[in-house]
Structure 1
Amino acid sequence: MIAVDWKVVLDLIVSVLLIATIGYAWMLNQRLSSLRKNRDDLAKTIAAFNEATLRAESSIPKLRKAAEESGQTLQERVEKAQSLRDDLAFMIERADTMANRLENAVRSARTDGPKPAPEPRGPTAERSAQIGTASTPTMPPPRMAGNRAAAIAAAAAAAESESDDRSEAERELLRALQSMR
């Protein structure tokens, strides 16, 4: 029989195991290098995230300040708009009151005296209505009946007597109303 040399067999077994160990070590080395590479990328990502967090934290006070300033500006504008709204409501109320007075004066003048003939509407009157200006002067024309002219003059005199406590806008509104008649 063949004489088996146990030393050679053991050497062959150890060499096979060493080759398997070298292969496993090489595969483990590959995985560890990819883990190190990913770890470096992860560290870079974490550093970038930290920078972004610091920038965000430093910009929060600036955003708060800007929000407070815009809030104050908005509040001022709202208060100003409310004030203007109140002024306009007052002016509208006064204009309605004056328009009602003028209308009542005209009605009373119409019921007191004879009815005047309707005023002719020609191209000049239509053109002035389109432009927004009156073609008739503020004084009533001579063709009006005496009672109507007197009523308008009385309403204008009443309006002028109260003009001391009126604003410029109210006076302009009254002038425009008078010029339309």
Structure 2
Amino acid sequence: MDYKLVLDLIIAILLAATIASAAVLNNKLNQLRKNRDDLAKLVAAFNDATVRAEAGIPKLKRASEEASSTLIDRVEKAQSLRDDLAFMIERADAMANRLEGSVRTARGEAKPVPAPASSTAPLRGPSIRPAPASQPVPKVSVPPLTASRDDTLDDDRSEAERELLRALQAVR
């Protein structure tokens, strides 16, 4: 065989391989172009989402400030109620101590009842102790609250004291 023919065959095989690899490369470049368009759409959508999120930030700030002011108002009201309840508990403790003194006096126990603690002392419940089991418990008569009662006594009492007296009478 002629070496020119062999050389032409080798060149033809190499050209066929080049054409095949060019076709594969062309397909890959088309896929890259298509993916580039999809990537551009994805970047545009991400940009829109970022713009919307930035626009929502001031609204969130306003909502958080409103919630904060509402919470502050509620905390202030709760503190006011807490102070009122502390005062009522202190007054109820003093009344319970007076009631305990009256019960002891009615039983014949002449033990003096200590004065209520100062307002700086920690709040505690009333110190009413039950009577010993060996002694019978005498009945103590408490006059009922009526409209005909002397109003000057009611004026000296707070609303909480009057409610406590009504509750004690309801239990009786």
Structure 1 position 53 matched with structure 2 position 50: yes
Higher Cα Rg, which structure: 1
Question: Structure 2 length normalisation: TM-score?
Answer: 0.66
CA distance in 2, matches of 1:91, 1:65: 39
Q: In structure 2, do the counterparts of structure 1 residues 179 and 102 end up closer, same or farther at CA, with 3 Å as the change threshold? A: farther
5+ residue gaps, structure 1, are: 120-143, 154-159
Structure 1 position 99 matched with structure 2 position 90: no
CA distance in 1, matches of 2:16, 2:168: 113
CA distance in 2, matches of 1:76, 1:54: 34
CA distance in 1, matches of 2:14, 2:167: 114
Q: In structure 2, do the counterparts of structure 1 residues 93 and 28 end up closer, same or farther at CA, with 3 Å as the change threshold? A: same
State the AA in 2 paired with 1:22: I
CA distance in 2, matches of 1:36, 1:28: 12
Indicate which of 162, 167, 170 corresponds to 1:176: 167
Cα deviation for residue 9 of structure 1 reads 6.2
Structure 1 position 81 matched with structure 2 position 78: yes
Q: SS of 1:95's equivalent?
A: helix
Aligned length: 141
Counting only pairs closer than 5 Å after superposition, residues 32-181 of structure 1 correspond to structure 2 as 32-111=29-108, 149=141, 152=142, 163-178=154-169, 180=171
* Structure 1 residue ranges, 4+ long, deviating more than 4 angstroms after superposition: 8-14, 178-181
Q: In structure 2, do the counterparts of structure 1 residues 105 and 5 end up closer, same or farther at CA, with 3 Å as the change threshold? A: closer
CA distance in 2, matches of 1:70, 1:88: 26
Partner deviation per Cα, 1:18-70 (whole Å, 9 max, x = no partner) = 32322121111011011112212211221121111111111111111111111
Q: SS of 1:100's equivalent?
A: helix
Higher helix fraction: Structure 1 or Structure 2? Answer: 1
Q: In structure 2, do the counterparts of structure 1 residues 166 and 66 end up closer, same or farther at CA, with 3 Å as the change threshold? A: farther
CA distance in 1, matches of 2:106, 2:167: 21
5+ residue gaps, structure 2, are: 110-135, 144-150
Q: In structure 2, do the counterparts of structure 1 residues 5 and 92 end up closer, same or farther at CA, with 3 Å as the change threshold? A: closer
Supply the RMSD in Å over aligned alpha carbons.
Answer: 3.2
Match of 1:125 in 2: none
